[in-house]
Structure 1
Amino acid sequence: MNFIAWLIVACEIGFWIVIVLGLFTRYVLKKDKLGLFLLALTPVIDLLLLLMTGFDLYRGATATTAHAVAAVYVGVSIGFGKSMIEWADNRFRYYITKEGSKPTKRTGHEHSVHYLKGWGRHVLSYVIGAGLLLGMIFFIDDTSRTEVLWNVLRIWTVALGVDFLIAITYFVWPRKG
């Protein structure tokens, strides 16, 4: 694995460590401001990944799948970050601090609407990540060095379409309770 691939793994681990520390600080140590500060560090992790990826390409590296995944990671982290933190927050409150209500599994129309909102987050992630991929392609300006970026963009476009079809099927065949 190359440096960027390891950096993506480190950022993902760092993302969840910061969230767990933020929730622990917030709910167990009862330090709301410090907990919020730690949770607010998640975009800093994305920025670090983005800067290191750009620097690697600036130094002349040929774009790899890891470079493309870095752009996808940043897009997904921004698009889904808030909902992932809320998901973790609800479960931490219930399972660790024994506060709040038990998270429930959505069914029927509620699940369909929730999934469609998730698809909207996927679109936002796609717009951000695709913008970063296109920015890298434009910045490098050498098709022999950016072919992988185009391929990942094509695959992600298909995945976004498939995700939309799945979202629609939940309205036709709602999830049973």
Structure 2
Amino acid sequence: MLVALIIACEVGFWVLLAGGLALRYLAGMPRLGAAVLLCEPLLELALLVVSFADLKNGGEPSWRHGLAAFYIGYTVGYGHYTVKWLDRHAAHRLAGGPKPPGTKYGKARAVHEWKLWTRTLAAAVVALGLLQAGIWYAGDAADTSGLQAWQFAALRVLGIQALIAATYSIWPRKAPAGAQADAGADEDAELAGTKR
């Protein structure tokens, strides 16, 4: 049942996202679209409640609980970023908005990768906390090795993301000769976007 709920939450996330963006840009109802987008955290709350209810009702801690913790962690770390990224692209494609800025080269790309790492850090902290809460909740009598394995997986993902960000810092990707002006404009637009 827990796996089915995780799948339902993932499908629900994309349905709410598509519905919210369609209401905002195709139907011309931005407030209703924003309200639909704000309903997305309710999916993760439902998943959290069901996960702990499953443990309370005698469910053995397993990979399903670990996957649920990862899903909730990802949503906390990357959910808003994903919605914002897709909203910018929808505004550009569907409503004639400006092209979203990109960070492909140099220092701007390295900074972008480290920002992604901080999102991964937030996701990992949430997942680790939920997994540890599950371990404590299940108690000493239960076999919690599966949840502990997910904790190590969260740390591995965080380490891999740090290595990726470090490679962009150590070996920054240089823009092709014709793309120098575009890269500078993208950096200015990205910096202006972060000051809001």
Query: TM-score range with shorter-chain normalisation?
Result: over 0.9
Deviation at 1:105, TM superposition (A): 5.3
Question: Which string of whole-angstrom CA distances, capped at 9 and with x for unpartnered residues, describes residues 106-149 of structure 1?
Answer: 22211110110010011111111111100010011136431100
Which residue in the other structure is 1:97 paired with?
A: 95
TM-score (norm 1): 0.92
- Taking a change above 3 Å as real, the CA distance of residues 96 and 32 of structure 1, as seen in their structure-2 partners, is closer
Measure the CA separation in 2 of the matches of 1:167 and 1:17. 31
Which residue in the other structure is 2:17 paired with?
A: 19
Amino acid at match of 1:10: A
Amino acid at match of 1:26: R
Which residue in the other structure is 2:37 paired with?
A: 39
Runs of 5+ consecutive residues of structure 2 not aligned to the other structure: 176-196
Measure the CA separation in 1 of the matches of 2:173 and 2:125. 29
Measure the CA separation in 2 of the matches of 1:155 and 1:76. 13
Q: Percent identity?
A: 33
RMSD: 1.5
Contact kept, 8 Å, 1:57 with 1:140, in 2: the verdict is: yes
- Taking a change above 3 Å as real, the CA distance of residues 146 and 35 of structure 1, as seen in their structure-2 partners, is same
Measure the CA separation in 2 of the matches of 1:173 and 1:35. 41
Which residue in the other structure is 2:126 paired with?
A: 128
Measure the CA separation in 2 of the matches of 1:106 and 1:28. 30
For the pair shown, the structure with the greater C-alpha radius of gyration is 2
- Taking a change above 3 Å as real, the CA distance of residues 143 and 73 of structure 1, as seen in their structure-2 partners, is farther
How many residue pairs align between the two structures? 175
Runs of 5+ consecutive residues of structure 1 not aligned to the other structure: none
Question: Which string of whole-angstrom CA distances, capped at 9 and with x for unpartnered residues, describes residues 67-124 of structure 1?
Answer: 1010111011011111101111011112233332255452221111011001001111
**Equivalences for residues 1-177 of structure 1 within 5 A:** 3-101=1-99, 104=102, 106-142=104-140, 144-177=142-175
Measure the CA separation in 2 of the matches of 1:105 and 1:161. 22
- Superposed structure 1 runs of 4+ greater than 6 Å apart: none
TM-score (norm 2): 0.84
